[in-house]
Structure 1
Amino acid sequence: MSSNSSRRGAPKHQNRYAWKPKAGQKINEREVGGKLRPYPEITGVCPRCKDQIDWKRRYGKYKPLSEPAKCQRCTKRAVRQAYHNLCPGCAKEQNVCAKCCSRVDRVIGRDLAEVEAEQKMLEAALKNARERDRRILLRAMDKGKSENSAKNPANKNKVGELFPSASLEEYAAKSRGDKDNNNGDNMDKINDEDDGVDGVTGVSDLDDDDDDDDYVEDAEQVCNW
């Protein structure tokens, strides 16, 4: 019996479409992982563990938690993400990955508690600030969002056509200047039209005077006869 150990190259029959988990099954959008209940963001892990969890989600091997799991250090039921062995507090305190428990320099994502605390601090600052300071802060936040959206435009050909200015004040100043320029152009146009009308009326008045002189001369000739 011959072996195919010396065979090399691409397979004879290649797949035209990528494999999709549960392709023939009807997907319930209300289940965890559906459109109405998407999976939570992966945070507190190293890049390698994040890729592993993403692979499980992509190929239908991901099993979400039905209830909080127990942390392996503090033994509290504070683990709320699947495949995590440490709670966010212990992982942050030890500066390790919450899944593989290895010491890493960079951790993916931010803790949900930190995001909520920052949001509460921002809301409190907006509530206690003056109206002018509140508007300045909101404008700065909007400007930051607009800059982030400008870095990744959906269609580069349309950038700057709908809203070319960087801020609302600049856009208002530009629109005000355009309006003044348009008003000045309109006034110049009206003045030119008035000058043209005056010139035409002056010519018509001269023509009327010539006609009157001719009529008087004709009347004098008739009287002389």
Structure 2
Amino acid sequence: MSSQRGNVSRTRAQRHQNAQVFRNDKYDTSAQRKKINTKLHEGLCQHCKEVLEWRVKFNKYKPLTQPKKCVKCLQKTVKDSYHIICKPCACELALCAKCGKREEIVIPIQTSLEKTENEPSKNEQTGNNRRSGFEDDNEQNLSDMEDENEDLDLLVKQHKTERTGI
């Protein structure tokens, strides 16, 4: 028996083995499931990122319906499931947004904005822009990203003033 005291090794192989890998979108093809599967887990340490990826993979991830209270600023600004710290606080304090520990952050929170800004400049350097409409789209995307960066900066400033009470 495996629960027998002192019995360290098994004498037989695993009885039931899956022939196919579990797929969380086999029967659930809703928009919410697709959104959960494509979600990027940013601002987390390696362990917490793996935990959330496991939850998504095996259909255990449940999204939040209402924002949760941040443990640092005590505002209802946490919009991601299983997180305890909001994104501005996690960025400012360099903490994992899920466990709250000062670990190495695998994917920083603003990398998605930086990647989209860098991609158009690479295309301009290599000369891959052959259509004039493509260049206009890149310029529009850049201006949209700059607007989002400004909005994010304003949000961080407002968040800091709410925390300090000034």
Q: TM-score range by the shorter chain?
A: 0.5 to 0.7
TM-score w.r.t. length of structure 2 = 0.58
**CA shift for structure 1 position 22:** 7.6
Structure 1 residues 52 and 138: CA distance shift in structure 2, 3 A: closer
Match of 1:141 among 112, 117, 122: 122
1:115 is the counterpart of 2:116 = no
| RMSD (Å) for aligned C-alpha atoms | 3.5
Q: Distance in 2 between matches of 1:68 and 1:39?
A: 20
Give the gaps of 5 or more residues in structure 1.
123-136, 145-165, 170-225
Match of 1:52 in 2: 51
Q: Is the 8 A contact 2:37 2:56 kept in 1?
A: no
Change (3 A) 1:168 1:12: closer
Question: How many residues get paired?
Answer: 124
**Higher normalized helix content (fraction of residues):** 1
Q: Determine the structure 2 residue equivalent to 1:61.
A: 60
Kindly provide the amino acid, as one letter, of the partner of residue 18 in structure 1: V
The whole-number CA distance in structure 2 between the counterparts of 1:38 and 1:22 is 9
Which residue does 2:14 correspond to in 1? 11
User: 1:20 Cα shift?
Assistant: 4.0
CA shift, 1:52, in A, is 0.1
**Does structure 1 retain, via aligned residues, the 8 Å contact 2:25–2:33?**
no
> Could you say which residue in structure 1 is the equivalent of 2:89?
90
- 1:123-153 deviation per Cα after TM superposition (whole angstroms, max 9, x unaligned): xxxxxxxxxxxxxx99743167xxxxxxxxx
Deviation track 1:80-124 (CA, whole Å, cap 9, x = no partner) reads 111110011111222111111111133424238x829x97xx6xx
Identical amino acids, percent of aligned pairs: 29
Offset at residue 76 of structure 1 (A): 1.0
- Contact residue 46 and residue 104 of structure 2 kept, 8 A: no
